[in-house]
Amino acid sequence: MSFPNHRPRRLRTTPAMRRLTAENRLAPADLILPAFIREGLTEPSPISSMPGVVQHTTESLKRAAAEAVELGVGGIMLFGVPAVRDAQGTASLDPEGVLNKAIRDVKAEVGDDLVIMGDVCLDEFTDHGHCGVLDSEGYVDNDATLEIYGRMAVAQADAGAHVLGPSGMMDGQIAVIRQALEESGHKNTAVLAYAAKYASAFYGPFREAVDSQLKGDRRTYQMDAANRREAILEVELDLEEGADMVMVKPAMSYLDILADVAAMSPVPVSAYQISGEYAMIEAAAANGWIDRRGAITESVLGIKRAGADTVLTYWASELAGWLKES
Ligand code: PBG
């Protein structure tokens, strides 16, 4: 194995040679578009820390979903921003609530041509901004939250979601949701478990996107950035509980975790390139410090190379358009 028998540069000589020998490829179908809908909006509302991303109206959401289908995007993950919040996140259970209605509207628009996913979590719906309900000491009450997640899951499945994405990191959430789905006749509604979700500073812009009421942090339920082995435990538990797919989140600061999970997971692995990752690249590109299209493409390809089968990214439709043209 030595020079000059081996000259790795031979396979880099032309674009066609590099294309032929690429170990990994991005395809529009790998991409999942996260999208926000806000109750009561008459015009789409820009999110200042996520330039190019908006809180949708019903109409603009339907257009974004139709465009995603046109571009061959694999799926859409919906987040709702309700007009009214309370301590229990009650609006999450209302069939006419913002998220359940959005699922129904998107389903009516695109049918089964796009995999429609709903966020199963209470943080957008609670007036304290936590992903679950609180006990008398203000601690997020795991088991009381599970009971609500089960009902929320059924409401989203009733609305027509193909996949549910529980993102609250409560212990046992996959089991409870699976059981609720089976008992309500939704045996084919799949669960994409946010299995290894870390407490991250990079969620900042998302909090603006959903008008989060959170004070403090989520460190009693989301994972600690210091931990690697624990991600395997979280994935194993979710698989035992019936997860159909598993996710690592965030993506770029957790590529080691993603590679570990991809090596052991018998089910498809997702990674979520989150709001702060989006914001960083957009901000640097807006300053002319990096090439926007190159940086976006490389960042998502890196996530795929680390082991993701599918990637949630706010650039899903734009990137799919680039992939289609090349
Ligand atoms: C919680 C949830 C969050 C994100 C997705 N689901 C926020 C959090 O955990 O604080 C973040 C996504 C992003 O930052 O792009 N329902």
For a substitution probing ligand 1, which of 117, 206, 213 has the most ligand atoms within 8 Å of its CB?
Answer: 206
Write the CATH number of the domain with boundaries 24-325: 3.20.20.70
For a substitution probing ligand 1, which of 120, 167, 214 has the most ligand atoms within 8 Å of its CB?
Answer: 167
User: 119 in helix, strand or coil?
Assistant: strand
Closest listed residue to residue 122, CA positions, set 134, 111, 131, 114: 131
User: Which residue has the CA at smallest separation from atom 5 of ligand 1?
Assistant: 167
Clarify whether 101 is annotated catalytic. Answer: no
CA distances from 233 to 171, 228, 230, 260, 261 (A): 12, 10, 5, 11, 10
**Could you give the CA distance from residue 179 to residue 244 in angstroms, rounded to a whole number?**
14
Closest listed residue to residue 219, CA positions, set 310, 323, 139: 139
Closest listed residue to residue 276, CA positions, set 309, 302, 254: 254
Segments of the chain scoring below 50 in pLDDT:
none
Secondary structure E strands in the chain: 31-38, 45-46, 54-56, 75-81, 115-120, 163-166, 190-197, 245-249, 269-272, 310-312
For residue 117, what pLDDT is reported?
A: 99
**Could you give the CA distance from residue 215 to residue 18 in angstroms, rounded to a whole number?**
49
Cite the annotated binding site for 5-aminolevulinate by residue number.
207, 218, 275, 314
**Could you give the CA distance from residue 10 to residue 17 in angstroms, rounded to a whole number?**
9
- Ligand 1 within 6 A of 198 CB? no
Closest listed residue to residue 129, CA positions, set 194, 221, 61, 197: 221
Identify the DSSP state of 132: S
- Ligand 1 within 6 A of 149 CB? no
User: Which residue has the CA at smallest separation from atom 6 of ligand 1?
Assistant: 167
Amino acid at 68: A
For residue 23, what pLDDT is reported?
A: 98
**Could you give the CA distance from residue 207 to residue 125 in angstroms, rounded to a whole number?**
13
CA–centroid distance, residue 168 to ligand 1 (Å): 9
- Ligand 1 within 6 A of 169 CB? no
pTM value is 0.98
For residue 280, what pLDDT is reported?
A: 98
CA–centroid distance, residue 244 to ligand 1 (Å): 20
User: Which residue has the CA at smallest separation from atom 8 of ligand 1?
Assistant: 203
- Ligand 1 within 6 A of 167 CB? yes
- Ligand 1 within 6 A of 121 CB? yes
For residue 1, what pLDDT is reported?
A: 74
Clarify whether 197 is annotated catalytic. Answer: yes
Query: Atom of ligand 1 at shortest distance to CA of 123?
Result: 16
For residue 326, what pLDDT is reported?
A: 82
In the block, which residue shows the tokens 């979700």? 197
Amino acid at 25: R
